Chains A and B, each alone.
Chain A
Amino acid sequence: MDTIRNYLDTMFMRLPNTFEVMKAKNELGQMMEDKYIELIESGKAENEAVAIVISEFGNLDELAEDLGITSAMNYNTSNMNGNMNGNMNGNMNGNMNGNMNGNMNGNMNRNMNGAFRENLKVLTIDELKAYIKSSIFEGKIRGLGVLLIITSFVWDILLDDVRFLDMFRTKLFGLSMVGGICLLIYASRLKKTWKYFEDIPCTLDFEASSYLVEAWKKEQDFIEISKTVGTMMCVIWIVPMLLFEDIPFLDRLTESWLFIFIGIGVYMCMQSRKRKNIYKTILSFKGLQANGFARNVYYGVGINNYKKNIGFNEKDFEKENSKEIEQRERYEVVYQCFWGTIIAIYLCVSFLTFKWILTWIIWPIAFATWSIIKAKLRK
């Protein structure tokens, strides 16, 4: 059975992940599976059964029209020009090196061995990887920019009245600040490279889709951990401040802790957010939204079915998982509202009263309350 599944996966590898294509893949999978099972039951050897099923499969070109794609085999020049123009425009704005070559090669390959639907851009696994990689890079640059700006105050505090070094104080402050701003500008320029994602309807091919499922699953731990640690960093700077109070020099360090901790905390939160947004952007592709793939992947529902069981029915699949999806959607909304409110209260009260030593008490209370809410939501 695995051989047949692999065969089907390979046949569909370069086809766009759209509703029509997914439906066809499922249905063809059902038929092949039925045929295979019956052949085995009638006493055929596995190899023989596989050979029969595959030889009687037919030709995907026959389905081109049903799938809303141009020919699955023919090399279509007019489409290629269209696609190349689209990409060049998109990339011209941003950096010229690397990306343009990458995209152009990707498109040519796709047109040679695969198929795509006119006016729907189908990203291959290479393009997807390139997008994720460059977006993470952009996020890091942006994060570093913010980190430099926040920590620029550290130099001012640390080097105050320190012999010889005092003269560097304002210089380092300014350098750090300007450096940070430059990085932010650079990051915005990087972002423009992929701007065309928002302008034209996109989808992924099946190979890229499977990659996305795995990558998103792996990414979630990173997102959660860096968000939690980042938030903690923004809160616990109070600890060294309390510990090193009244100790000469160290107390000066502690004033810098504030900026260093918050800087790192903000950096981590930004990375977490960025990663999440990358996947949200991909999952908001029109093609992936239309066939319900996006929702299922985002909430990690029914993905094993998608990966392993080629014999499921699309409509049914949606219905089956919709309850769980709704539950997770509700969970996410409550989560955002709850922690948003807590952070807002914490910051408002703290800044109004300046009793940072007391206000942190909101965190243990919040965590306790959250675990109760979570238990209630899970029911």
Chain B
Amino acid sequence: MSTISSDVSRGYNDTMILYLLSAAPSYGYAISKRIKELSEGKYIIKETTLYSAFNRMEKNGYIKSFPGTADNGKKRTYYQITPQGMEYYKEKCQEWKVTKEVIEKFISQTI
């Protein structure tokens, strides 16, 4: 099974996280788990990558953190998407469509 490298996914970590947050507010591990599930194990996001993305997006106002408590009483930081975050997500989706279109032209179908 091939996996994708963190170099390739770097520009789109934000997109993945925002997609998941647009469904419902969530917390760090749940998001990393969903990414692994949706990618069928082809992409495992590192904790430091995830935190870096959270931190950067929070500073840019795309997401908002709030304290919450898990079922077992454990304290957790939850994140939710903001209207600016939604806008940014839409932009990133558009960007990806173009990127895909362009890169696709250079991908040989015979290999």
Residues of A within 8 A of B (CB): 24, 26-28, 30-35, 38, 56-60, 62-63, 65-66, 311-313, 315-316
Contacts and interface: CB of A to CB of B under 8 A. Distances in A.
19 contacts: A24-B51, A24-B55, A28-B51, A30-B28, A30-B75, A31-B28, A34-B30, A56-B46, A57-B46, A57-B48, A58-B46, A58-B48, A59-B48, A62-B48, A62-B49, A63-B48, A66-B56, A313-B67, A313-B76
Contacts of A59: 46, 48
B47 A58 contact: yes
- In terms of DSSP, what is the predominant structure of the interface of chain B? helix
A313 B77 contact: yes
A311 B76 CA distance: 7
Contacts of A62: 46, 48-49, 52
- In terms of DSSP, what is the predominant structure of the interface of chain A? helix
Interface string B65-80: 0010000001111000
B74 A311 contact: yes
Interface in B51-97: 51-52, 54-56, 67, 74-77
B27 interface: yes
Given A24-B51, A26-B77, A27-B51, 6 more contacts: A30-B27, A31-B50, A34-B28, A58-B49, A59-B46, A315-B67
B32 A31 contact: yes
B77 A27 contact: yes
B48 A28 contact: yes
Given A313-B75, A313-B77, A56 B47 contact: yes
B77 A56 contact: no
A63 B67 contact: no
Contact of B54 (A27, A38, A312): A27
B25 to A, nearest CB: 15
Nearest to A305: B75
A34 B27 CA distance: 10
